[in-house]
A and B are shown apart, each in its own frame.
Chain A
């Protein structure tokens, strides 16, 4: 399908596809097996300007917007969702600064992130606060010109690899979600250490780690926006990053469909190619249709964001929930088409199926997405907007 993408975005797809072919496909199995962070590939992506695409031009980016990030995340995920996660998590980590940072904060951090010389990470989740962000226990206490942080963040993508962390912590626990604030914490700050690196089911070429703050003192100027806006910062950040997760899911599904199509054209049973069987044909047709529908929805939301539409929470949640469910379904069907071979690690589809699962869980579970969609629908109805 032709989405009439700009020449710049087409160039991004072409470049990512070339990097995937030359640098990612040869190592993805090994990185997955060894649970290893793809440092070399991050350097290739940096040298190719891919960390610049979503950062505005005045901060040494290319200012190509949400669509550019979606296409990059999709194309990289088509080859390896773990590597794509390590890449896209930077946009998530940078988002609070991009959306709410002061010019000074932007000048200080965005050029480094644009060059890819430093990576970013976003720290919201805690052992007892995931979907329920109001349950955050990490405290930030104002002390003169500083804030002092104490607490633990869990399952932080790019943890230990990033140089810049955007952290949500409670400045006024009595007020619940309205007592949260967002901060920038740099790697190497005394009192900031990393806990264990997780051993995950999928996206194993990404680092997922605990962040530990013990009397970690940061300058007061590292507060993003105002005290008490942390929950809003986090929600807007996730609204903006959800199309990226949706795009990642589209890429995983496309990769599985590609593999299934090739396999079905080569595998012979009963003396014929298995893609001559209607049972397989119907599966392939449904997979392709679902992938295209997920892509269309994802790109539509990216276009809304790039056009400057302010309210896209519902649509971003729809894209995330739909595309991730498609990724799970299509990768499962791809394994089915591969049969016994699909269940083996020698073939890429079992990894794709493992990788797909996270897209239904992270950056807001699909149950939370449906809550978001439904609450928007109900609100729109009550206000007469529907």
Chain B
């Protein structure tokens, strides 16, 4: 079983602010972390590798410093790490990102499974996983809360969908996007950390993937983010105190007043 776990380095959103003037994320001084959903994707990959044998390859696209999450993946048990880094990849939307990651999966062939988090906490699109599947023309199993089994060239999963659980079986290879319900991620091990420290991360650029600049980065991106804004802060509401009778009168006045105003 050869498993790719596609992951993204994201700003720790607990620490992110939005520049009120330029409507952009203020990333200065914000720590970067492995996208939290991807941690679960990694655990899922490691879990099935441990059970079935084979190897887990951690894959990411990003600037050179994105290497940090690959090393983290290796410290948790990933066998290999591949960084896709090139100026030509910069500014990619989810389409171009998916194309680029899919090209790397093709280069890593044969691959049986791609696990990735259901979405990244910075973009919140949930499109890259499905995009990789589309680009590879593989089945996609999204919002997976539990992988029930991998056997005989098939994978059986539970998708947690609105109002229920859908059990799906698919042929391999496939792309699976996972939820935090899927597992409990392991801690790094000391031997993993020692391996990660000395690891030379494989880095591939556009030439290594055999892609054309028109297919990657900003040039390969059909969509543009034209603006980003913080929602207006909601006012705190008002608190009224009194007996039920008094409050009923206040409430009626407020509702009627609002109606009159409208």
CB pair B194–A48 under 8 Å, yes or no, is: no
- Answer whether residue A137 sits at the interface, using C-beta atoms and an 8 A cutoff: no
Residues of A within 8 A of B189 (CB): 47-49
Interface string of B178-197 (1 = CB under 8 A from A): 00000000111111111001
Report which of B187, B191, B197 forms a contact with A19, defined as CB distance below 8 A. B187
Q: A16: nearest residue on chain B (CB-CB)?
A: B190
Contact of B190 among A12, A22, A23 (CB under 8 A): A12
Contact A22 B193 (CB under 8 A): no
Q: A47 — which chain B residues lie within 8 A by C-beta?
A: 186-187, 189
Instruction: Mark interface residues in A7-24 (1 if CB within 8 Å of B CB, else 0).
Output: 110011011001100110
Instruction: Judge whether A11 and B193 touch: CB under 8 Å.
Output: yes
Number of interface residues, chain A, beta carbon within 8 A: 18
Q: Shortest Cβ distance from B34 into chain A, in angstroms?
A: 13
User: How many Å lie between the Cα of A18 and that of B187 in the bound state?
Assistant: 8
Q: What is the minimal beta-carbon distance from A115 to any residue of chain B, in angstroms?
A: 12
CA distance A153 to B186 in the complex (A): 37
> What is the bound-complex CA distance between A8 and B193, given in angstroms?
9
Supplied contacts A47-B186, A47-B187, A62-B194, 18 more A-B pairs, CB within 8 Å: A8-B190, A11-B190, A11-B193, A11-B194, A12-B190, A14-B193, A15-B187, A18-B188, A19-B187, A22-B187, A44-B187, A47-B189, A48-B188, A48-B190, A49-B190, A50-B190, A53-B190, A62-B191
Q: How far is the CA of A241 from the CA of B247 in the complex (A)?
A: 70
Chain B residues touching A, majority SS:
helix
**Contact for B187 among A8, A11, A48, A62, CB less than 8 A:** A48
Which residues 21-73 of A sit at the B interface, judged by CB distance below 8 A?
22-23, 44, 47-50, 52-53, 62
Closest B residue, CB atoms, query A46: B189
| C-alpha spacing A52/B188, complex, angstroms | 14
B187-231 residues with Cβ-Cβ distance < 8 A to A are: 187-194, 197
Give min CB distance, A70 to chain B, whole Å. 15
What's the minimum C-beta distance from B212 to chain A, rounded to whole angstroms? 42
Task: Known A7-B197, A11-B197; judge A49-B191 contact (CB<8 A).
Answer: yes
Provide a sorted-by-A list of 19 A–B residue pairs whose CB atoms are within 8 angstroms. A8-B190, A8-B194, A11-B193, A11-B194, A12-B190, A15-B188, A15-B190, A19-B187, A23-B187, A44-B187, A47-B186, A47-B187, A47-B189, A48-B188, A48-B189, A48-B190, A49-B189, A49-B191, A53-B190
CB-defined contacts of A23 to chain B, threshold 8 Å: 187
> A residues within 8 Å of B by Cβ?
7-8, 11-12, 14-15, 18-19, 22-23, 44, 47-50, 52-53, 62
Tell me the nearest residue of chain A to B190, going by C-beta. A49
B residues less than 8 Å from A18 (CB atoms): 187-188
In the complex, are the beta carbons of B190 and A62 less than 8 A apart? yes
| Closest A-B pairs by Cβ, 9 of them | A49-B190, A11-B193, A49-B189, A48-B189, A49-B191, A48-B187, A44-B187, A19-B187, A15-B190
Measured between beta carbons, the chain A residues less than 8 angstroms from B197 are: 7, 11
Give the chain A neighbours of B190 by CB distance below 8 A.
8, 11-12, 15, 48-50, 52-53, 62
Closest to B196 in A: A11
Option from A15, A19, A44, A52 in Cβ contact (under 8 Å) with B193: A15
Report the bound CA distance from A53 to B191 in whole Å. 10
Give CA–CA (A76, B162) in the complex, Å.
42
Listed residue (A11, A19, A44) with the most chain B CB atoms within 10 angstroms of its CB: A11
Q: Which residues of A contact B194 (CB under 8 A)?
A: 8, 11, 62
Residues of A within 8 A of B187 (CB): 15, 18-19, 22-23, 44, 47-48
Cα-based distance from A7 to B194 in the complex (angstroms): 9
CA of A8 to CA of B187, assembled, Å: 17
Q: Closest residue of chain B to A8, judged by CB?
A: B194
- How far, in angstroms, from A53 to B190 measured CA to CA in the complex? 9
When C-beta atoms are compared, the residue in chain A nearest to B186 turns out to be A47
Minimum C-beta distance from A159 to chain B (A): 27
Q: B193 to chain A: closest CB distance in Å?
A: 4
- In angstroms, how far is the closest chain A Cβ from the Cβ of B21? 33
How many Å lie between the Cα of A202 and that of B136 in the bound state?
59
User: In the complex, A53 Cα to B194 Cα: how many Å?
Assistant: 12
Q: What residues of chain A lie closer than 8 Å to B192, measured between beta carbons?
A: 49
> Which of chain A's residues has its CB closest to B185's CB?
A22
How many whole Å from A282's CB to the nearest CB in chain B? 34
Closest residue of chain B to A45, judged by CB? B187
B residues near A7, Cβ cutoff 8 Å:
197
Bound-state CA distance A44–B76 (Å) is: 12
Q: Tell me, rounded to whole Å, the shortest Cβ–Cβ distance linking A26 to chain B.
A: 13
CA distance A47 to B188 in the complex (A): 8
Contacts of A12 in B (CB 8 A): 190
B257 to chain A, nearest CB (A): 42
